[in-house]
Structure 1
Amino acid sequence: MRAYIPEPYATEIAQIPYRGYTDTTHMVWIKGGTFTMGAEHNMAMAHEKPPHRVQVGGFWMDKYEVTNAEFLAFTQATGYKTLAERALDWETMKKELPPDTPKPPDSLLAPGSLVFYSPPQVEDMHNYAQWWQWKNHVNWRQPEGPGSSIEDRMNHPVVHIAYYDALAYCQWAGKELPTEAEWEFAARGGKEGHIYPWGNELIPENKPMANYWQGNFPINNTVDDGFEHTSPVGVFAANGYGLFDMAGNVWEWCSDFYDANYYQQLALKGTISNPQGPERSYDPAAPYAIKHVIKGGSFLCNDSYCSSYRVSAKMPAAPDTGMPHLGFRTLLRP
């Protein structure tokens, strides 16, 4: 994996003690194989095209997204604090910003994370600042801020997890993050060319198959699937490989850098064996930023906006980003 980990995170992660055993109790062995990665249907975004052939080796993958209970065990064993629980490091941040970017007020560098709220109306669907805001003292323990808790959500996926936080957990657990190719192969569950992990119909037999936004995004969620926010892991049906929540619930970190043009490069090379992602990150919307791929969509995805619960869908995310709909699952290679 081509993970760029700046200091002091690299040293901190390397010093986290391995817990001494690797637990595969809640993992599934996936044999590996060759598949068509990406998409060409009309819902696919440009960075999902063109489709190309990829071969991956076998691996173990978590049946479920890492839960609050599992992450709590990690923090209790190691004393680790997530990035959302720390003040932002301006010296690290400014390396990913245009030159001469002024330092923001100290209040904006205080510990916190992004939170979602439903605005009464939306003027421009391209302006996501209308439903996202930075809030201090928001983190995985307090997902909505002071006064909120995970006491009744221990079997929900942990959220507000930055890429470096996920790597820290992997160091302790003796596992890794999946590559984008491994993740997509696993999400397809053996179904070649299908749009969703379960097939091509979003709601077969009028039964929601994943936790995502129903209604008018971002104003009104009708909660037809029973969950306004995260759902406990494993509530919805597993895919063909026995993996749960490979669509919806929370986005999941992959190890790959994000490059908007990466698939165009791969498509020229024939079948690619175990791709590890591009050599460097490139997001035309933020050319100075380092970003990684996230996959799977979340409880905030909706057909009218992004429909990112599709298996080929992906988005870029900065590695120090924490959000209420972003978590991870781990992988173990033989």
Structure 2
Amino acid sequence: MALLALLMVAPARAATGWHGETLPSGLSKHAERGVYIHHADDARMVYVTAGVFLRGTPALRMQALQAQYGDYFSGESPQQSISLSAYYIDQFEVTNRQYAQFLRAVDTHRHRDCHADEPPHKSHLPTYWRDPRLNGPAYPVTGVDWYDAVAYCRWAGKQLPTEAQWEKAARGPDGRAYPWGNTWVATYSRNVESTLGRPIHGEQLWLRVLGRLNLDALTQMTQPVGSFPLGVSPYGAHDMGGNLWEWCRDSYRQGYDPGAPVHDPMGPPPSPYKVLRGGAWSSHRGKIRAAYRNYDLLTDRHLEIGFRCVKSIK
């Protein structure tokens, strides 16, 4: 009888993840090994182990990239070893189906999950929500600004990734050029070459091609999430090269501050310009690289920008 009483009051054992870690609340193991399900938005997530990775690009490589593509590539230095705590990241970009759940919640609970600096009376309805080329349920949501992305992540009990978290999840600990490795393969992601079916090696050709591009004539831009399984990152995240640019938590500054923290860096002080990573369906191979850094005004909404979320272990 005493033993039964002890069993009845014994605390429940915490659930353990695929890597032996204690699972945070709201997350459970999926039947597929290495994959987790986040309950609030039904997102599949993957685990990024704690440790060091190589952020940025060496100086000589930077010079070669600048010669090929222009000064856009001067912001990737200096290359530095960065240490991150473990975290989970969405396996796919947030989809229209998932974002629709968030919109229903906004209608019900108003804007309780929004950033404090969000403009008053802001609508979270994406710009291209009704464009049939972009609004399929399994397609990544696009036409969202940084405030939209922050609000969604908070509603789901997650956060936008820091720039460092995004880059580690994309390239792994070995500093590879693309999520899949160091060799460019156009068919491993949704990029301007796979969109248009022709190789584009440099910035000038890319600019000429885009200058002639009639967006209204394009029948398809993005692809459903997970359409390029050969382009998966070392941690199991999909579409981290191409499909859509992805918002990060950090504000943007030109180049990395060599004096900034090297453990769990949070980026520079807040500014109106936020980091974008990963390239899009219209990006050339240089911008699909995992180290490439882009940025935009946090209130801008384009048909090339989406996002994914992270969940901290802490």
Normalised to the residue count of structure 2, the TM-score between the two structures is 0.69
The structure-2 alpha-carbon separation of the partners of 1:32 and 1:228, relative to structure 1 and needing over 3 Å to count, comes to: farther
Match of 1:229 in 2: 221
CA change 1:244–1:149 in 2 (3 A) is: closer
Greater CA radius of gyration, 1 or 2?
A: 2
Please give the alpha-carbon distance, in whole angstroms, between the structure 2 residues aligned to 1:36 and 1:27. 23
User: C-alpha separation between the residues in 2 aligned to 1:231 and 1:167?
Assistant: 23
Partner of 1:27: 45
Which of 56, 68, 72 is the matching residue for 2:96?
68
- The structural deviation recorded for 1:228 is 4.3
Q: Secondary structure at the match of 1:185?
A: helix
**Cross-structure match for 1:291:** 273
Count of aligned positions: 240
CA–CA separation in structure 2 for the residues paired with 1:138 and 1:27: 24
For residue 175 of structure 2, the aligned residue among 174, 177, 193 is: 193
Q: CA deviation at 1:29?
A: 1.2
2:112 alignment partner in structure 1: none
Q: Where does residue 252 of structure 1 map in the other structure?
A: 246
- Contact conserved, 1:162 with 1:320, CA < 8 A, in 2? yes
Q: 1:38 matched to which residue of 2?
A: 56
> Runs of 4+ in structure 1 displaced over 3 angstroms?
20-24, 148-151
Alignment partner of 2:222: what SS? coil
Q: What stretches of structure 1 of length at least 5 have no aligned partner?
A: 1-19, 81-91, 94-110, 113-136, 222-226, 282-289
Amino acid in structure 1 at the alignment position of 2:102 = F
Match of 1:312 among 288, 291, 297: 291
Identity value in percent: 31
TM-score by length of 1: 0.65
Distance in 2 (CA, whole Å) between partners of 1:50 and 1:330 is 26
Alpha-carbon distance in 2 for matches of 1:54, 1:212? 28
The within-5 A match list for 1:1-334 is 21=26, 24-25=36-37, 26-40=44-58, 41=61, 42-43=64-65, 45-79=73-107, 139-143=127-131, 148=132, 153-190=136-173, 192-203=174-185, 208-214=187-193, 215=198, 217-219=209-211, 228-237=220-229, 238-261=232-255, 263=256, 265-266=257-258, 268=259, 272-281=262-271, 290-303=272-285, 307-334=286-313
Deviations 1:97-131 (A, max 9, x none): xxxxxxxxxxxxxx99xxxxxxxxxxxxxxxxxxx
Q: In the alignment, is the contact (CA less than 8 A) between 2:133 and 2:221 conserved in 1?
A: no
**Structure with more of its chain in helix, by fraction:** 2
Distance 1:22 1:70 in 2: 16
**Following the alignment from structure 2 to structure 1, what is the Cα–Cα distance between the partners of residues 134 and 223?**
12
- Asked whether the 8 Å contact 1:228–1:299 carries over to 2, the reply is no
Displacement of 1:193 in angstroms is 2.5
Q: Report the Cα distance in structure 1 between the residues aligned to 2:90 and 2:126, rounded to whole angstroms.
A: 27
User: Is there any run of 5+ residues in structure 2 with no aligned partner, and where?
Assistant: 1-24, 29-35, 38-43, 67-72, 109-118, 199-205, 214-218
Mapped partners of 1:276, 1:324: distance in 2: 27
Change (3 A) 1:231 1:149: closer
